[in-house]
Amino acid sequence: MELSKRGKIISGLTPIDATGAAKNGDYISMKNAAHCTVILHFGVSLVATQAITLTQATEVAGSTTKALGFDLIQVNADVTATDTFVETTVTSDTIDKSAASEQLFAIEIDADDLDVDNGYDCFRVNLESPGGQATLVSILYICTELRYAAAVPVSQIID
C-alpha cells in the first residue's frame, strides 16, 4: 500500500519549541476517513512532563468542543535505542509524557469514537505546557480507510 496515495498525511503541528506554552494540533475532520493514527514526536525534552489529551469538535474551527476519551496509547520511550512501541493504558483520558527526549507516541482514533450522533466529527491533540523546560514536538495525523477513492484524496482540514 502506498500510504501517501491511499491515505491522507496531515501536519497537525509543525516541529516547534513548546517551551513555556501549551501547544495544540490543528483540528481535522473525520467525515471522509474511518481511522486516524496520530503520531507525536518529541525531540529534545529536558525534565518536563506534559499531559496529552484529545478534544472533539463539530467543525474544524473548533467553536463547539468537548473532551474525546481514549484509553490506550502506543509509546516508544527512546527512539534512539529501539523501534518498538509498548501499549500503555491511559487514565482519565490523559497521558503524561515522561521527562525524556526522543519519544514517539501513537494514538489510534476511529471516526465512530467521536460523538457523531451529536455532530462531533473533528478532533485535535492538546499538549500541556512543559513550563520553562525546552521541549521540541511535532504532530502528524495519518488518516486511512478513506470514504472516497480519488487520485487526490479529499481534504481532512476543511469541513
The 3 state secondary structure assigned to 14-44 is: EEEECCCCCEECCCEECCCEEEEEEEEEEEE
Q: Do residues 108 and 30 touch, judged by C-beta distance below 8 A? A: no
Residue 68: predicted pLDDT = 96
Residue 55: predicted pLDDT = 97
Residues 26-65 pLDDT 10s:
999 999 999 999 999 988 766 566 788 999 999 999 999 9
Residue percentage of the chain with pLDDT more than 90: 52
SS3 116: helix
H or E segment to which residue 74 belongs: strand 72-76
CA pair distance 39, 125, nearest whole angstrom: 10
Domain boundaries, the chain: 12-146
Q: Which of 66, 98, 101 is nearest to 80 (CA)?
A: 101
Q: Which CATH architecture has domain 12-146?
A: Sandwich (2.60)
Residues 97-125 pLDDT 10s:
666 678 899 999 999 999 999 999 999 99
